[in-house]
């Protein structure tokens, strides 16, 4: 633990900044052993602050302060105080220039926050609180400043020197060095500052904005990856066009740059004019990148681009408002992806993530509202709740207001708050002002944590033709919030007749704890299709019969709900098998399900992408989330049983579908239709392999050897490795390694596939992989592949009854915490869910959390997660 116990920060304590920084001029001398930073800040008193206060700047205790002066006068040690990440100067004029020289050691920065080196290039990561690791500054998002940055470095090692804005001057310096000065005309908070220095290659293109301005587009990467940048470039241009067309937003600088770095804690970062990306979210090439990764690149490129308005031009007042930019921007990128690809499939994928991981977060010890009330370490709040649930909240506003009013609200929000640092409340107020609606109850979505539950029952009166839906809502307690008030939410629904004809479709608005909705003139008892398109992030209970679900699966006009009906049925049948397994009774596979699936497999008119979604069983993680008490083994056994049963019962259909999709796919292209064909083909291959029969092993081997793209090759590899065909699996792994050992991202997949192999001996395998030259514990992508792959994807083995998986993870966390606290705290998540398991595992997991808690010197990041988990 740091010198003192880490302490919490509260939303209710917010105070406007006492000082403003109008201009910030930075000069970086980048060297092999160190970096020298000279910062000149034009500071003046903030007229909006309550009272005059001493100047307080934030700066990490690790950075060396070499010189400090005010208006040219050097301060001595007694003029200021430095402690606990702060520098306080009591006596300053109302307006002055502060100059500060700091010395940093970027080469030794393993936390990857602030200024650090990634594979020989210098780069920065300042969100949320990284700028204070570079220099002393009021490092908070409501202090916005105009930045000018000069970089000086060796010309041969670092020919490319980048920062935010536009380059305005450059030249050579002594000793083989050179310099470039960048000016960013747009005031921005320090978290959006960035620099990059390295020997980088680039692809270049340009874009003409709607109003006719020319923008240079540049994507930089290491030279070896130059052939993997085209997809990102196309995605960027599509995103720029989309934001003009759908939101009326244009880009506002002459250059837009993206840089790919291999060492990065998160996915990507929206620094003004200079996005920095994890290589995994920008590089794409058919031979080395899967379809899923192609789509992720498209989504993340768009996400970071969209931040230019929702995040940069209008930013957050404080970090409690993080969802202001993240929730809105995730909603924007989801809609973009939906427009570029299949809307229904995108929705299914997003809802699956929400239900699996966000619902689990909501039910765990770190549960927090979309706008948290307090935090110890803000890095721990870049969560599924803030991002994905936050996006669902924006989506509900879109549904409640309708697309036109929503667009008006977004226009008003951007216009009213351009250049400001604002709150989620300001966002909702703009929506209120354009619609004339009172959204005060709706605001509870921002302040209450937990997943609400809707209970729906119905009544039909054949004589009067009157049908009633009775809806009640509740929300379980979460840490610090015992009682919840009812939410305001849109419940999109329809009524179907027995033969599948739609009788009506509507969006109901829920505001009360209990409400009744009446429908007149209904000719016969209808089947309700509820929560269409997942119109609110809730759990919905309605006592569907199997027959009703099968009918909806066949006929619902809402594609999402067709899928959801199938999921409900699969979940129900899987839960029955889980119980049977626990009682030691034989498991069964329902014939009605087999028949329904056969119908879907034989129907050649259906969209392959959709069929692939319909025929995928809910994951073990999702079944775990739904369980009262998680029995990992029972869930695994039940799912394996069902998968094998469906594989064998429909073997000829799977083969026919495999062949049909294979014949239909031409040369590789990452468009939605081809992706759909490949996903159905590889799902069919999964079931064929699951039959356990040799001929299909040969089919997979052939696909592995002959495919021209990573999607098919990797699918074949992982299916064989995860099957009972151990020898062939090992053989393919070796071949894959020899083929791709020079491709770091492909090797991450190779690590992840092995880490998630649930066959006995898994822990020994991951331990030995952690010593493999392809693994590098300093690289977050490799940690996520190996440790995340084992603890998050290999549930049976991570939860081995002897607790060995838990000890292994805790050992890693303790080791990583000294190196990279952010990543350590994230990898810890699986252990935080200990209360959800049966007593034996629960105790073993808790023991490891306690062991970490008892360790001296935990980072604030890990301390927060561990201490809250133990409550």
Write each residue from 126 to 165 as x if it is in contact with ligand PHE (CB under 6 A), else as -, in one continuous string.
-x--------------------------------------
Number of residues that bind Zn ion (CB under 5 A): 2
In degrees and rounded to multiples of 5, residue 82 shows phi and psi of -130, 120
- Kindly report the number of other CB atoms within 10 A of residue 509's CB atom: 14
Residue 375 binding ligand PHE, by CB under 6 A: no
Which of 332, 639 has the CB closer to Zn ion?
332
Which option in ligand PHE, Zn ion, none does residue 869 bind, with CB closer than 5 to 8 A by kind?
Answer: none
Residue 304 binding ligand PHE, by CB under 6 A: yes
For the CB of residue 415, give the shortest distance to Zn ion in the complex, in Å.
22
Which option in Zn ion, ligand PHE, none does residue 269 bind, with CB closer than 5 to 8 A by kind?
Answer: ligand PHE
Could you give the 3-state DSSP secondary structure of residue 196?
A: strand
How would DSSP label each residue in 817-834? HTT-HHHHHHHTHHHHTG
Which of 190, 275 has the CB closer to Zn ion?
275
Residue 383 binding ligand PHE, by CB under 6 A: no
Q: Does the active-site annotation cover 304?
A: yes
Residue 382 binding ligand PHE, by CB under 6 A: yes
Which of 135, 315 has the CB closer to ligand PHE?
315
In degrees and rounded to multiples of 5, residue 562 shows phi and psi of -60, -50
Which of 266, 852 has the CB closer to ligand PHE?
266
Which option in Zn ion, ligand PHE, none does residue 266 bind, with CB closer than 5 to 8 A by kind?
Answer: ligand PHE
Which option in Zn ion, ligand PHE, none does residue 109 bind, with CB closer than 5 to 8 A by kind?
Answer: none
For the CB of residue 688, give the shortest distance to ligand PHE in the complex, in Å.
39
Which of 379, 749 has the CB closer to Zn ion?
379
In degrees and rounded to multiples of 5, residue 24 shows phi and psi of -130, 120
Q: List the beta bridge partners of residue 151.
A: 28, 180
Residue 262 binding ligand PHE, by CB under 6 A: no
Which of 288, 329 has the CB closer to ligand PHE?
329
Which option in ligand PHE, Zn ion, none does residue 215 bind, with CB closer than 5 to 8 A by kind?
Answer: none
For the CB of residue 135, give the shortest distance to Zn ion in the complex, in Å.
25
Could you give the CA distance from residue 28 to residue 253 in angstroms, rounded to a whole number? 23
Site residues for ligand PHE, 488-507, by CB under 6 A, read none
Please write down the long-range contacts of 237-241, taking CB distance under 8 Å and 24 or more positions apart: 237/205, 237/207, 238/298, 238/302, 238/336, 238/340, 239/301, 239/302, 239/305, 239/306, 239/336, 240/207, 240/209, 240/215, 240/305
Residue 125 binding ligand PHE, by CB under 6 A: yes
Could you give the CA distance from residue 278 to residue 693 in angstroms, rounded to a whole number? 40
Which of 60, 326 has the CB closer to ligand PHE?
326
Could you give the CA distance from residue 464 to residue 441 in angstroms, rounded to a whole number? 35
797: left (phi over 0), alpha (psi -120 to 50) or beta: alpha
Site residues for Zn ion, 683-722, by CB under 5 A, read none
Residue 269 binding ligand PHE, by CB under 6 A: yes
Stretch that binds ligand PHE, among 266-274, 406-414, 804-812, 850-858 (CB under 6 A): 266-274
Cβ atoms of 326 and 260 within 8 Å: the answer is: no
Which residues are CB-contacts of 816 (< 8 A; sequence separation ≥ 6)?
A: 777, 783, 823, 824, 827
Cβ-closest residue to ligand PHE? 266
Site residues for Zn ion, 315-354, by CB under 5 A, read 326, 329
The tokens of 88 are what? 């306080």
Number of residues that make up the chain: 871
Stretch that binds ligand PHE, among 70-78, 176-184, 301-309, 631-639 (CB under 6 A): 301-309
Which option in ligand PHE, Zn ion, none does residue 317 bind, with CB closer than 5 to 8 A by kind?
Answer: none
Which of 452, 780 has the CB closer to ligand PHE?
780
For the CB of residue 333, give the shortest distance to Zn ion in the complex, in Å.
8
Stretch that binds ligand PHE, among 267-275, 353-361, 514-522, 734-742 (CB under 6 A): 267-275
Cβ atoms of 809 and 853 within 8 Å: the answer is: no
Q: List the beta bridge partners of residue 95.
A: 44
Which of 269, 700 has the CB closer to ligand PHE?
269
Which option in ligand PHE, Zn ion, none does residue 288 bind, with CB closer than 5 to 8 A by kind?
Answer: none
Which of 329, 535 has the CB closer to Zn ion?
329
Which of 276, 401 has the CB closer to Zn ion?
276
For the CB of residue 721, give the shortest distance to ligand PHE in the complex, in Å.
32
From the list 270, 333, 620, 712, which residue makes contact with ligand PHE (rule: CB under 6 A)?
A: 270
Which option in Zn ion, ligand PHE, none does residue 382 bind, with CB closer than 5 to 8 A by kind?
Answer: ligand PHE
Write each residue from 311 to 350 as x if it is in contact with ligand PHE (CB under 6 A), else as -, in one continuous string.
---------------x------------------------
Which of 316, 685 has the CB closer to Zn ion?
316
Stretch that binds ligand PHE, among 163-171, 261-269, 601-609, 725-733 (CB under 6 A): 261-269
Write each residue from 78 to 117 as x if it is in contact with ligand PHE (CB under 6 A), else as -, in one continuous string.
----------------------------------------
Nearest to 674 by CA among 363, 682, 635: 682
Which option in ligand PHE, Zn ion, none does residue 607 bind, with CB closer than 5 to 8 A by kind?
Answer: none
Stretch that binds ligand PHE, among 300-308, 445-453, 604-612, 728-736 (CB under 6 A): 300-308
Number of residues that bind ligand PHE (CB under 6 A): 11
Nearest to 355 by CA among 553, 563, 147: 563
Which option in Zn ion, ligand PHE, none does residue 125 bind, with CB closer than 5 to 8 A by kind?
Answer: ligand PHE
Nearest to 715 by CA among 673, 760, 661, 764: 661
Residue 388 binding ligand PHE, by CB under 6 A: no
Sheet of 55-58, strand order: 55-58, 86-89, 81-83
Which option in ligand PHE, Zn ion, none does residue 313 bind, with CB closer than 5 to 8 A by kind?
Answer: none
CA 644 to chain centre: 32
Cβ atoms of 375 and 458 within 8 Å: the answer is: no
Q: Which of 99, 270, 298, 304 is catalytic?
A: 304
Could you give the 3-state DSSP secondary structure of residue 220?
A: strand
Burial 600-635 (b: 16+ CB within 10 A, else e): bbeeeeebbbbbbbbbbbbebbbbbbbbeebbbbbb
Could you give the CA distance from residue 638 to residue 585 in angstroms, rounded to a whole number? 12
Which of 225, 326 has the CB closer to Zn ion?
326
Cβ atoms of 377 and 130 within 8 Å: the answer is: no
Cis upstream peptide for 573 (omega within 30°): no
Residue 722 binding ligand PHE, by CB under 6 A: no
- Kindly report the number of other CB atoms within 10 A of residue 496's CB atom: 22
Nearest to 123 by CA among 95, 85, 149, 161: 161
Residue 861 binding ligand PHE, by CB under 6 A: no
Angle between helices 291-306 and 672-690 (to 10 degrees): 140
Could you give the CA distance from residue 200 to residue 551 in angstroms, rounded to a whole number? 57
Which option in ligand PHE, Zn ion, none does residue 127 bind, with CB closer than 5 to 8 A by kind?
Answer: ligand PHE
How would DSSP label each residue in 370-393? SS-SEES-GGGG-SHIIIIIHHHH
Residues that bind ligand PHE (CB under 6 A): 125, 127, 266, 268-270, 303-304, 307, 326, 382
List interacting residues with Zn ion (CB under 5 A): 326, 329
Catalytic residues: 304
């Amino acid at each position: 633990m740091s010198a003192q116990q880490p302490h919490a920060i509260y939303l209710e304590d917010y105070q406007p900044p006492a000082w403003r920084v109008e201009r910030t001029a930075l000069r970086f001398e980048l060297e092999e052993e160190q970096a020298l930073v000279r910062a000149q800040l034009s500071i003046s008193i903030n007229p909006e602050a309550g009272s005059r206060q001493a100047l307080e700047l934030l700066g990490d205790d690790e950075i060396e302060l070499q010189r400090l002066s005010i208006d040219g006068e050097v301060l001595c040690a007694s003029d200021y105080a430095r402690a606990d990440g702060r520098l306080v100067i009591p006596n300053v004029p109302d307006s002055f220039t502060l100059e500060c020289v700091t010395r940093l050691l970027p080469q030794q920065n393993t936390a990857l926050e602030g200024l650090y080196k990634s594979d020989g290039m210098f780069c920065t990561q300042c969100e949320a609180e990284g700028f204070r690791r570079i220099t002393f500054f009021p490092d908070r998002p409501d202090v916005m400043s105009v930045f000018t940055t000069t970089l000086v470095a060796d010309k041969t090692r670092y020919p490319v020197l980048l920062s935010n804005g536009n380059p305005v001057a450059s030249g050579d310096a002594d000793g083989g060095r050179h310099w470039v000065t960048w000016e960013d005309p747009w005031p921005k908070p320090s978290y959006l500052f960035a620099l990059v220095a390295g020997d980088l290659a680039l692809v270049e293109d340009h874009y003409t904005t709607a109003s006719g301005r020319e923008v240079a587009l540049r994507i930089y990467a290491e030279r070896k990856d130059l052939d993997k940048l085209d997809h990102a470039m196309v995605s960027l241009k599509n995103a720029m066009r989309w934001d003009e067309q759908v939101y009326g937003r244009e880009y506002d600088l002459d250059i837009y740059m993206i840089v790919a770095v291999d060492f990065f804690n998160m996915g990507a970062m929206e620094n003004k004019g200079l996005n920095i990306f994890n290589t995994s979210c920008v590089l794409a090439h058919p031979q080395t990148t899967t379809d899923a990764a192609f789509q992720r690149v498209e989504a993340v490129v768009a996400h970071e681009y969209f931040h230019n308005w929702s995040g940069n031009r209008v930013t957050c007042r404080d970090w409690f408002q993080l969802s202001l930019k993240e929730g809105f921007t995730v909603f924007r990128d989801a809609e973009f992806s939906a427009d570029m690809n299949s809307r229904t499939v995108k929705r299914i994928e997003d809802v699956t993530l929400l239900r699996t991981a966000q619902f689990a977060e909501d039910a765990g010890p770190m549960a927090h509202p979309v706008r948290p009330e307090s935090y110890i370490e803000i890095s721990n709040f870049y969560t599924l709740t803030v991002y994905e649930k936050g996006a669902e909240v924006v989506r509900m506003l879109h549904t409640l207001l309708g697309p036109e009013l929503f667009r008006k609200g977004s226009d008003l929000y951007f216009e009213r708050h351009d250049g400001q640092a604002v709150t989620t409340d300001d966002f909702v107020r703009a929506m209120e002002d354009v619609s004339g609606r009172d959204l005060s109850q709706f605001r509870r979505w921002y302040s209450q944590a937990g997943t609400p539950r809707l209970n729906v029952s119905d009544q039909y009166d054949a004589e009067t033709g009157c049908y009633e839906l009775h809806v009640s809502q509740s929300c379980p307690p979460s840490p610090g919030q015992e009682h919840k008030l009812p939410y305001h939410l849109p419940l999109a629904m329809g009524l179907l007749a027995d033969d599948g004809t739609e009788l009506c479709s509507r969006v109901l608005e829920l505001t009360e704890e209990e409400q009744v909705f009446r429908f007149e003139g209904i000719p016969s008892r209808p089947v309700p299709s509820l929560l269409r398109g997942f119109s609110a992030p809730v759990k919905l209970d309605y006592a569907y019969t199997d027959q009703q679900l099968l009918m909806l699966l066949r006929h619902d006009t809402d594609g999402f709900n067709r899928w959801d009906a199938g999921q409900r049925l699969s979940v129900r049948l899987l839960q029955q098998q889980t119980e049977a397994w626990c009682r030691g009774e034989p498991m069964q596979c329902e014939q009605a399900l087999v028949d329904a699936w056969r119908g879907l497999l034989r129907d050649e008119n259906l969209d392959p992408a959709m069929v692939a979604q319909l025929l995928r069983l809910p994951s073990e993680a999702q079944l775990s989330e739904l369980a009262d008490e998680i029995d990992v083994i029972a869930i695994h056994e039940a799912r394996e049983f069902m998968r094998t049963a469906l594989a064998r019962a429909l073997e000829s259909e799977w083969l026919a579908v495999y062949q049909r999709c294979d014949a239909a796919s031409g040369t590789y292209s990452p468009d939605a239709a081809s992706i759909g064909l490949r996903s159905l083909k590889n799902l069919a291959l999964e079931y064929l392999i699951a039959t356990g029969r040799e001929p299909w092993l040969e089919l997979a081997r052939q696909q592995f050897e002959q495919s021209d793209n990573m999607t098919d090759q990797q699918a074949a590899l992982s299916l064989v490795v995860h099957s009972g065909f151990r020898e062939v699996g090992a053989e393919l792994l070796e071949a894959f390694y020899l083929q791709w050992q020079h491709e770091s991202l492909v090797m991450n997949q190779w690590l992840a596939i092995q880490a998630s192999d649930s066959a006995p001996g898994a822990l020994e395998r991951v331990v030995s992989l952690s010593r493999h030259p392809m693994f590098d514990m300093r690289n977050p992508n490799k940690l996520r592949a190996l440790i995340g792959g084992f603890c998050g994807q290999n549930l049976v083995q991570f939860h081995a009854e002897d607790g060995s998986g838990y000890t292994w993870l805790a050992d890693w966390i303790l080791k990583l915490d000294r190196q990279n606290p952010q990543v350590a705290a994230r990898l810890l998540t699986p252990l935080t869910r200990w209360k959800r398991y049966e007593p034996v595992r629960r105790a073993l997991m808790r023991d490891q959390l306690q062991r970490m808690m008892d360790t001296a010197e935990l980072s604030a990041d890990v301390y927060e997660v561990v201490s809250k988990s133990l409550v």
